[in-house]
Amino acid sequence: MFHVLRIPRDLKVPRDDGRIFLLYRLSPDRIPRCGVIPFDFSPHNCYHTGHFLLEKSIMISDWGFIGIFFFLAIFFPIVPILTGVLLGPHKPGAVKNETYECGIRTRGPARIQFRASYYLYALVFLIFDIEAVFLFPWAVAHGQFPLYAAVEGVLFLFLIGAGLAYVWRKGSLSWR
């Protein structure tokens, strides 16, 4: 079932070779127990234990596991809720079903207009959220770029900062 490979002790793989990441994953403690990875070695079919790599015929991908996890996670809240529905009494009444506003009789519809301030905050948030998508890859790679690329990222960051200053100046960030 397993194909067991012995790993030579002297390990040298350049950092930007895609496989170093794999090695790193296999031995997160970075103890140099692993050696040169065999050429035909693929990231998704091996386990690392001690001095060996156990090669397996198939392995569920990372996102496959996330899929399984989310599928199971749906049941974690649903099972108690269903239990509650089954075990609890069920005696609805006209008064009981009323909207609960601390005993005061409800007036008007619940779907009221909301103030524009909330909308403005959500809009500013959106800009920063999109910015974050650009910043994360840049933060990962800034060490490998030449210096001007790192500076450029900082300029981009400050550009967004200037946007924030503009919104601030316009008074959109003060609660009214």
Partner 1 sequence: MGDLFTTVSNWLNGILAEAGIPPEAAEWIFAVGRAFLLGVSGLLLVVFLIWFERKVVARMQDRIGPNRVGPYGLFQTLADMLKLVLKEDMVPPQADKILFHLAPVLAVIGVVGLWAVIPLAATAYGVDLNVGVLYLAATGTLGTLGILMAGWSSRNKFALLGAFRTVAQLVSYSVPAMLAMLVPVMLSGTMSLAGIVAAQDGFWFGVAAPLAALVFLIASLAEVARAPFELLEAESEIVAGFHVEYSGIRFGMFFAAEFLHAFTIGALLAVLFLGGWRGPGAAEFPTLGALYFAAKSFAGYFLLVWVRATLPRIRIDQMLDFCWKVLTPAMIVLIGALVLVNRALAGTSMWVRNGALLGVNVLVAAGVISLLSRSQSQSHAGAHGRAPGKGAQPCALAGMGDEAEAAS
Q: Which residues pair with 5 in a beta bridge?
A: 53
Residues 76 and 66: beta-carbon distance below 8 Å: no
Please select the residue that binds partner 1; options are 9, 17, 66, 130, rule is CB under 8 A: 66
- How many other CB atoms are found less than 10 A from the CB of residue 116? 10
Amino acid identity at 93: G
Q: What angle do CA 20, 25, 30 make, to 5 degrees?
A: 80
Binding residue for partner 1, selected from 4, 14, 40, 72, defined by CB under 8 A: 72
Q: Are 14 and 23 in contact (CB under 8 A)?
A: no
Q: Please tell me the count of residues contacting partner 1 according to CB under 8 A.
A: 85
Contact 46, 54 (CB under 8 A): yes
Token representation of residue 87: 């075990």
96 binds partner 1 (CB under 8 A): yes
Residue ranges in 21-60 that form contacts with partner 1 under rule CB under 8 A: 21, 24-25, 28-31, 49, 56-60
- Asked if 9 touches partner 1 (CB under 8 A), the answer is no
Q: Which is nearer to partner 1, 17 or 101 (CB)?
A: 101
Q: Which residues contact 38 (CB under 8 A, 6 or more apart)?
A: 5
Report the nearest approach of partner 1 to the CB of residue 11 (Å): 15
Least Å from the CB of residue 109 to partner 1: 7
Helix then strand then coil, in percent of the chain rounded to 5, is 50, 5, 45
Of 119-148, which residues contact partner 1 (CB under 8 A)?
121-122, 124-125, 128-129, 132, 135-136, 139-144, 147
Q: CB of 6: closest distance to partner 1 in angstroms? A: 17
Which residues ranging from 103 to 122 are in contact with partner 1 (CB under 8 A)? 106, 108-115, 117-118, 121-122
- Residues 146-165 close enough to bind partner 1 by CB under 8 A: 147, 150-151, 153-154, 157-158, 160-161, 164
